[in-house]
Structure 1
Amino acid sequence: MNWDPTVALIVAAIGLTAIGLVYLLSQPRKQNSGKRTREAPRREPSLDGESDSEIDRAIDELDQTLSGRGPETARSGDSDVGSRPQPDFEKIVSLFVQAPDGQAIRGPDLVVAAEKAGLVFGAMNIFHRLVDGRPEQGPIFSVANMVKPGSFDLAKLEQLETPGLSFFMTLPGPLPGLDAWEAMQPAAQRMAELLGAQVLDDKRNTLGRQRIAHLRDELRAYDRRHEAQGLKGW
């Protein structure tokens, strides 16, 4: 299994037809590392505890990966299901679902769990949760592979194994931030239960009530700010 130690930064929404894949650090993050966010191009990026140069390098690597995708990666990537209509975003909120040490999530189990959690396989060869009756508005959140390049090759389902999954939502999105979180967090918990895994927060700590409450408060504030500025994406 090709476990890339640089894979921890979630980056999404690069271009109209190529939403960003997710790069996740497989090693523990710095203690002062916070929520992964990236400002839209016209704004100054801010990722608590991460330098701009680190973020730029991750973005550059992502662009290279997307532009260099071969037939093997793109084979099932012709689906537009889960494509984001808007390429720019301001904030990314993420969770990890990680298998116990020394174990892995198997492909067949993953597909069954994803279906039970209401996910569909689509754009970028990853899973997405869509808005009921409004799939064209893009995903509420997406689920990527922790193993580089972040996609799932369902053509090799029986051989597919991964140490974990990355759940991520980009804002603004088709729903208010808090509503999107209230869809993503239970889905991550459900899949973790089905897969015998555990849910970790964006700092790779066990997701607890205090962290959940803090994220909800942040997202409420985000929604209020956007509504006041007339910037709602929903």
Structure 2
Amino acid sequence: MINYDMLMNNWLIIVGIIVFLAGLIGLFLYLRHKNKSGYHAEKNIFASAESALFDDSDINTPHSTTTHNEATGLFQDGFETEQQAEADSATPTQPSELIIVLFVIAQHEIGFSGTDIFEVLQDLGLVHGKKRIFHHYGLGESKTQHPIFSIANIMEPGVFNPEEADTFHSQGLALFMQLPGPFGGRVAFELMMNTAQRIADTLSGIVENDRHQPVDASVINELRQKINQFEQR
């Protein structure tokens, strides 16, 4: 039986990893456009170590920015703790979870408008909720109590504020899912992949994997195989 309480306790770690990956995307976009038109992107999502994504108690307080190294150090500390725990274990174990990440990156310097983001995500059945990001709970009678996948903003602080929908722009969206989850991995991935492509088609974006590679048939097959191997462990 899936321990959903444990999955929810890992929620901040999952979003933290997504935030770090999204930071790399934001940095790449900034460097790519800077020399073309003097465009200055919004601050990257990993610039604030006290982001509301990481601490609910700060959800209504101002956030001070930190350096790239300080923010990265937060993730490294977590990874070192996990690595030490693994080293202390006498019996090697199989990975207990798998995180799949996709990005939808804007093709235009202005990015996606907040109004368009809210409209397309709601049209695709996503719900704005916990952590102030969007979640997909399934379709029709196949809805679940826990998210099948979620979508965060790659710009700091990673959230979507409904009251600011008509004033903000984003350079991209991060879609992520965790396995095991409420659906089988293959079904959940196909739903997330289809959603990412529909967002890209509607907002004129590009779907990329977690290595910043455009998603094509070979990348999709690679992700499917990765999921199959995990579920057969």
Q: Per the shorter chain, which TM-score range?
A: 0.5 to 0.7
Comparing 15-24 and 108-117, the one that deviates more: 15-24
CA distance in 2, matches of 1:61, 1:92: 23
Partner of 1:35: none
1:26 maps to which of 15, 23, 26: 23
Cα distance in 2 for partners of 1:197, 1:102 equals: 11
- Please list, as runs of the form range in 1=range in 2, the aligned pairs for 1:10-21 lying within 5 A after superposition: 15=9, 21=15
State the TM-score, normalizing by the size of structure 1. Answer: 0.63
Q: Which has the higher helix share?
A: 2
Give the aligned partner of residue 139 of structure 1.
Answer: 147
Per the alignment, in what secondary structure is the counterpart of residue 23 of structure 2? Answer: coil
Q: Which residue of 2 aligns with 1:203?
A: 211
AA aligned to 2:202 is L
Does the C-alpha gap of structure 1 residues 64 and 186 become closer, same or farther in structure 2, counting only changes over 3 Å? closer
Amino acid of the structure 2 residue aligned with 1:138: H
Q: Which residue of 1 aligns with 2:34?
A: none
2:220 to 207, 212, 218: 212
Which structure has the larger Rg over C-alpha atoms? Answer: 2
Tell me, in whole angstroms, the C-alpha distance in 2 between the residues paired with 1:67 and 1:186. 31
Q: Which runs of 5+ in 2 are unaligned?
A: 1-6, 27-45, 63-95
Q: Distance in 2 between matches of 1:125 and 1:218?
A: 29
Question: Structure 1: where are the runs of 5+ without partners?
Answer: 1-12, 30-56, 74-88, 226-234
Question: For 2:148, what is the secondary structure of its paired residue?
Answer: strand
Q: Report SS of the residue matched to 2:24.
A: coil
Q: Output the CA distance in 1 between the equivalents of 2:11 and 2:226.
A: 30
Match of 2:60 in 1: 71
TM-score, normalised relative to structure 2: 0.64
1:193 matched to 2:201? The reply is: yes
1:100 equivalent in alignment to 2:107: yes
Q: How does 1:1-234 map to 2 (within 5 A)?
A: 15=9, 21=15, 22-23=18-19, 24-27=21-24, 65-71=54-60, 90-132=97-139, 133=141, 135=143, 137-225=145-233
C-alpha separation in 2, matches of 1:90 and 1:126: 21
% identical equivalent positions = 31
Residue number in structure 2 paired with 1:37: none
TM-fit CA distance, 1:63: 9.1
Aligned to 2:85: none
Quick one: which amino acid aligns to residue 120 of structure 2? A
SS at match of 2:117: helix
Q: Which whole-Å CA distance do the structure 2 matches of 1:72 and 1:175 have between them?
A: 36
Q: How many corresponding residue pairs?
A: 171
Question: 2:50·2:58 contact (CA, 8 Å) conserved in 1?
Answer: no
Going from structure 1 to structure 2, the CA distance change for 1:148 and 1:19 (only over 3 Å counts) comes to same
Shift of residue 170 of structure 1? Answer: 0.8
> Following the alignment from structure 1 to structure 2, what is the Cα–Cα distance between the partners of residues 17 and 207?
26
Between the aligned partners of 2:211 and 2:227, the Cα distance in structure 1 is 17
Amino acid at match of 2:158: G
Shift of 1:134: 6.0
Question: Counterpart of 1:80?
Answer: none
In the alignment, is the contact (CA less than 8 A) between 1:96 and 1:167 conserved in 2? yes
Deviation of the 1:145 alpha carbon: 0.3
